[in-house]
Amino acid sequence: MLKISQLHKSYPIGDSSLHVLKGIDLEVNEGEMVAIMGSSGSGKSTLLNIIGILDDYDEGDYTLDGVVIKDLTEKKAAIYRNKFLGFIFQSFNLINYKNALENVALPLYYQGMKRKERQEKAKYHLEKVGLLDWAHHLPNELSGGQKQRVAIARALAADPKLLMADEPTGALDTTTSYDIMEFLQQLNDEGKTLLIVTHEEDIAAMCKRVVRLRDGVIMEDKIVEQVRAATVNV
Ligand code: ADP
Ligand code: MG
């Protein structure tokens, strides 16, 4: 699915620079559910943004589904993002003046899908996250957990090969977090490949593999026995 080797990334800071990723090697195969763990500032989001083709890197190699991702034009990057990747964010990033259904349908519009097909597909995915009854509600009428479900439906609508989430439970209480994790586990059970950035141990333990970053270096990368969110009492 994806292969990264000896990846380096620095941010310019005035006359000098901040070396954030210092030689990352990472391979993720289809069907995996991987947590990227690390304390704040360890480089998790930087790595996820590079994998998500939202940012470029300085040195090393990155291949996504057989495509070399390096120095792409913004147009090419957008094409590959649409084709391969789905994103879920801590702050949901829904459009406030569009209802749940419209939010889910929006990426399909950018894919050039016809209106009727967009509506059908968006409905299907809203139903999948259990929110069909909420289709015509605006984001501010939804709870945090419901907003994140809409965001997941939106990410799934374009049928991405890889679903990427940056602190998807960071703005949710524990019960709702586990509820979202249970849903992500079910998606993985169905074969979806997931990459989840988190700084919380309990969330990482709900994945199947934990990659630990510290100061831009992978300290540990191991398969874990997956804790099923549904079995955890909060
Ligand atoms: P994490 O997600 O693990 O908290 P980040 O990848 O966001 O870490 O950040 C890693 C380091 O890079 C931090 O020191 C952060 O301040 C710095 N950083 C992140 N983005 C930028 C940027 N656009 N410009 C300069 N420094 C940045
Ligand atoms: Mg971050």
pLDDT, tens digit, 9 for 90 and up, residues 82-131: 889 999 999 999 999 999 999 999 989 988 899 999 999 999 999 999 99
Nearest-CA residue for ligand 1 atom 18 is 11
How large is the average pLDDT for residues 60-72? 96
* Ligand 1: lining residues by beta carbon, under 6 Å: 11, 18, 20, 38, 40-46
pLDDT for 110 equals 84
Token pair of 84 as six digits? 């391969």
Ligand 1, residues 7, 8, 10, 11: which to mutate, most atoms within 8 A of Cβ? 11
d(CA 70, CA 80): 12
Ligand 1, residues 20, 36, 40, 90: which to mutate, most atoms within 8 A of Cβ? 20
pLDDT for 194 equals 98
Q: What pTM value is reported for the model?
A: 0.95
Q: Which domains does the chain have, with CATH numbers?
A: 2-231 (3.40.50.300)
pLDDT for 13 equals 94
Q: Which of 186, 166, 189, 168 is nearest to 31 (CA)?
A: 189
pLDDT for 77 equals 95
pLDDT reading at 173 higher than 90: yes
* Number of residues assigned to the chain: 234
Burial class (CB in 10 A: 0-12, 13-18, 19+), 18: exposed
Token pair of 202 as six digits? 């309990």
d(CA 157, CA 117): 11
d(CA 75, CA 48): 20
> For residue 89, what are the β-bridge partners?
166
pLDDT reading at 26 higher than 90: yes
Average pLDDT of every residue of the chain: 96
Q: Which atom of ligand 1 is nearest to the CA of 47?
A: 6
d(CA 163, CA 86): 5
